[in-house]
Amino acid sequence: MVLLSLIVAVASVAEQCVDRLDNGGCAIRAAHANFCAAPWATEHCCATCASPNLENEPAPTSTCTVPKNKCALWSCPDKGSVQAIGASCSVDARRSAMCDRCSVMEADSCTAYQPSVRTCQADGSWVGAEPVCRRFCDAGYTPPLSEIPEKVNVPAESAPQPVAAEAFKVVPLDAPPFGDFLVSKGLDSYMKYRIDVFDQWLVLFTDKCASKYGYNHSIHVANQYAQWLDWEGTGTPNNPEVFAQLQKYNATMVMFDTDGRDLDKFFDGYPYDEILDRHWFHPHDVECDETPYQDRNPDTYDNAYCEVSQQIFNMGYRAVWPSVFGDRKGSDVANAMDKLIGDCGHAYDHTFKYPHCSGKYHYDDRTCEYDCLVSEYEWWALTTHLGGQDGHLVPPLGEPPNHGRCREIADEWEQCTKELLQEHDPSIVAILTNTTYNLPTKLPYGEYQPGSRI
């Protein structure tokens, strides 16, 4: 009788031990070392943490992962984000309009960040001066806001002519019709080639990029850009208002062979990215070594999806509808993002709580300010809505939710499928599908063919 009572009591406790967060969310969080030791985990992920199959001990490590830093440049002994124990990397603050608003500081002293060395430790952590946005260490700091210029109207005679069905052509930077102007602005000191898309110099790339990778990666970016603008394959941009803003701001993708000093020197001279202002030129970088889809690598994501769509949002949609796509608190997109972040907070202002929180968007970069978070959020949402994160259209391929891409992004973005996005964030889906804004309805794949539907 006593044994039976004990069994019933244990069963009752087991029934009460449930995950208050969805199962997927608890499983993602439980992968973090010592997650289940915290009271928040006991309360919200009881069943997951009680599982006898849970492995919640830190795995032995022989490497460190370079942190995500939008506003810091890391130069390390080994290429890529994984570095060996004992590796020392030089770190410096980036210069750009976005990073100027972040105001990169040294985390402990809260003084302006100076070139430093960070070293990989045996436990997988880094020692050395950590770069952070100023609000991480100075709660009283308010990033400056720039005035948004009036949008330009679209005169009928300025509409781009339909492009021919032939492939985009690579030409020298100084070739007509834009060459003399670009040389007069000093761009020939950095860029060697260009690709014109819809009568606009939308892609520039370096000699190093061409020498190492040929033209394929840059042509791929040009084709993808064209498809973001003309997703119906009509031969002209499907949203003329947005394209007019890209022309007004001379929005351009600049391509270096890799992330490094050459890129940083370029932005020292042209620190105009991301901001709707009165500068003559607004470049956004995507490196040739991060656009591998042209090589059909089955295990690598094409980062051009991120960079190109971000520029179109930042310099196009935001300029036409600032109250909707603005990167400041209070815009429709920002309000949707705030709801999705929920109780997880922000890394840039020292309020970050992940994994001990229930929000579904949690970006741990301490050099990514609020405007940066909005820019990241927009590309995540659009590409997810169009099927670009669930593994059925672009590499890495697989079946959600357990294939490589879904697992790879879950620590930042928990909704890798269109269905999960609708469930977790109906507000952004309503914006993306509102025909007033005429957003892309098809995911680009980098092989633009005007005259045929994508």
Q: What is the pLDDT of residue 114?
A: 97
CB neighbours of residue 218 within 10 Å: 27
Alpha-carbon distances, residue 166 vs 78, 214, 220, 236, 451 (angstroms):
40, 19, 14, 14, 11
Query: Residue 35 gets which letter from DSSP?
Result: G
CATH of domain 63-137: 2.10.70
Whether the Cβ atoms of residue 404 and residue 377 lie closer than 8 Å to each other: no
- 66 within 8 A of 73, measured Cβ to Cβ: no
Task: Kindly write down the DSSP assignment for every residue of 404-437, as one continuous string.
Answer: HHHHHHTTTB---SHHHHHHH-HHHHHHHT-TTT
- Of residues 124, 99, 314, the one with CA closest to residue 228: 314
What are the strands, taking DSSP E only, across 63-214? 63-65, 72-75, 82-84, 88-93, 104-106, 116-120, 126-127, 131-133, 170-172, 193-197, 200-205
The whole-number pLDDT of residue 392 equals 87
pLDDT for 202: 97
Query: Nearest Cα to 71, choosing from 255, 331, 273?
Result: 273
Backbone phi, then psi, for 117, in 5-degree steps? Answer: -120, 130
125 burial type by CB count under 10 A (0-12 exposed, 13-18 middle, 19+ buried): exposed
CA distance 18 to 116: 47
**Is the pTM value of this prediction over 0.85?**
yes
Residues in the chain with pLDDT values less than 70: 1-15, 23, 55-61, 155-167, 292-298, 401-402, 451-454
Query: What pLDDT does residue 318 have?
Result: 96
Give the other-Cβ count within 10 Å of 354's Cβ. 21
Note the pLDDT of residue 298: 65
Q: Alpha-carbon torsion 407, 408, 414, 418, what sign? A: negative
Q: What is residue 13's predicted lDDT score, i.e. its pLDDT?
A: 45
Report pLDDT for 5: 45
